[in-house]
């Protein structure tokens, strides 16, 4: 049995996928199996995959079933010690996978390991040095849009890993999966599914470590993005707040959460002529409605875990993650471009 199962979901985009696989095929770490989930593509995915990885498993859905369900089906068919998720619109450095595994081995209490994501279009600029969560009820990317000058080169604990390029310990995934056996919440469809999982892992005591030498280049929203991202991010953040964020981290900050999201609604109304703003408002309305009926996952946090998680959260000083312009811009999809 291999140590790692690499899962790449794709919806069309054969050119993107081919470039991703071309970088993965020269990986210095070879003890892995490849799973590619064809999420209802009309383009021929399997020939592109098997040309580069003849033994890869290609799983196909006849219609687009969403990122969360694609992950779940792929994970269910794999059995390695680690599961690595990778977007199809990425290019990886040759030692990326080795660095993720080495980091996980150095931190046996880690449930996940976050990659360093840089922009494919500007390879010295950061997209994510691990993900963050604000006490105002919004996720974001640490270091987003900054030049990478070594300010995030420490191997340290972060809140969660961006699902575009992340390693998960199977033991941890099995510990937090739902009663139906699913790891990711399929109601989220896409966007924030990694944040939701990040909260469940943290609440169960599984830490996330940032591996600064595990470098990936990401073509932002080449597969998703646009109004689609605006809608799902605005909808799903309410679902995550309602069902997965422990009350210890919502009740004390409820006024900040209310004020921040009210501000987002006001900004959306001011830009109502823009498609992204309208999509964001629609998502907000649906998200609030669904969160009303969301069943909160019961999580009793030991005091030590509460203090540890609280130290990872971003407060009102948004310069901590250099993400303020992302969170105040409808067009930037609140810093959660994937």
In sequence order, the β-bridge partners of residue 37 are: 9, 59
Q: Residue 117's pLDDT is what?
A: 97
Q: Residue 181's pLDDT is what?
A: 81
d(CA 254, CA 191): 23
Would strands 32-39 and 157-158 be described as parallel, antiparallel, or unpaired?
Answer: unpaired
Evaluate the CA torsion angle 271, 328, 148, 67 in order and state its sign.
Answer: negative
Helix (H, G, I), strand (E, B), or coil: what is residue 164? coil
Q: Residue 138's pLDDT is what?
A: 93
User: What are the tokens at 306?
Assistant: 């509460």
Place of tokens 């792929």: 74
Helix (H, G, I), strand (E, B), or coil: what is residue 222? coil
Q: Residue 259's pLDDT is what?
A: 93
Residue 82 host element (H or E): strand 82-86
d(CA 3, CA 6): 10
Report residue 141 CA to chain centroid gap: 10
Helix (H, G, I), strand (E, B), or coil: what is residue 38? strand
Q: Residue 317's pLDDT is what?
A: 41
DSSP 296-329: PPP----HHHHHHHHHHSB-S-GGGTT-HHHHT-
Mean pLDDT by 10 residues, the chain (338 residues): 96 95 98 96 96 97 93 95 97 98 97 97 94 94 94 96 97 88 91 94 95 95 72 94 91 92 92 91 93 75 85 64 34 38
Q: Residue 321's pLDDT is what?
A: 37
Residue closest to 273 by CA, chosen among 336, 222, 330, 232: 330
What does the buried/exposed string (b/e) look like for 205-235 if buried means 16 or more CB atoms within 10 Å of the residue's CB?
bbbbbbbbbbbbbbbbebbbbebbbbbbbbb
Residue 133 host element (H or E): strand 131-134
Contacts of 47 (CB under 8 A, 6+ apart): none
Q: Residue 301's pLDDT is what?
A: 79
Q: Residue 220's pLDDT is what?
A: 76
DSSP 26: T
Residue closest to 234 by CA, chosen among 335, 162, 135: 335
CA distances to 137, 187, 201, 233, 246 from 299, in Å = 18, 20, 11, 24, 7
């Amino acid at each position: 049995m291999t140590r790692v199962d690499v899962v790449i979901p794709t919806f069309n985009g054969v050119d993107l996928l081919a470039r991703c696989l071309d970088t993965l095929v020269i990986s210095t770490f070879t003890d892995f199996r490849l799973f590619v989930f064809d999420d209802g593509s009309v383009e021929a995915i399997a020939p592109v995959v098997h040309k580069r990885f003849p033994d890869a498993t290609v799983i196909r859905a006849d219609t687009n079933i969403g990122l969360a369900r694609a992950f779940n089906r792929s994970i269910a068919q794999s059995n390695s010690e680690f599961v690595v998720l990778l977007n199809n619109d990425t290019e990886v450095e040759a030692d990326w996978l080795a660095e993720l595994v080495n980091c996980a081995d150095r931190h046996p209490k880690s449930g996940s390991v976050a990659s360093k994501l840089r922009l494919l279009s500007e390879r010295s600029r950061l997209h994510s040095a691990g993900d963050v969560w604000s006490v105002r009820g919004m996720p974001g990317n640490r270091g987003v849009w900054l030049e990478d000058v070594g300010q995030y080169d420490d191997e340290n604990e972060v809140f969660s890993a961006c699902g575009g390029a992340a390693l998960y310990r199977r033991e941890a995934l099995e510990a937090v999966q739902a009663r139906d056996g699913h790891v990711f919440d399929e109601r989220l469809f896409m966007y924030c599914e990694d944040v939701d999982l990040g909260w469940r892992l943290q609440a169960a005591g599984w830490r996330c470590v940032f591996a600064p030498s595990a470098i990936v280049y990401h073509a932002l929203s080449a597969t998703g993005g646009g109004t689609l991202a605006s809608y799902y991010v605005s909808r799903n953040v309410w679902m995550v707040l309602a069902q997965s964020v422990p009350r210890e981290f919502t009740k004390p900050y409820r006024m900040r959460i209310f004020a921040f999201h009210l501000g987002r609604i006001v900004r959306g109304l001011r830009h109502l002529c823009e498609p992204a703003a309208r999509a964001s408002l629609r998502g907000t309305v649906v998200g609030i409605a669904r969160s009303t009926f969301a069943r909160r996952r019961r999580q009793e946090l030991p005091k030590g875990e509460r203090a540890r998680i609280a130290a990872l959260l971003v407060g009102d000083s948004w310069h901590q993650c250099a993400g303020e312009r992302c969170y105040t811009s409808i067009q930037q999809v609140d810093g959660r471009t994937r």
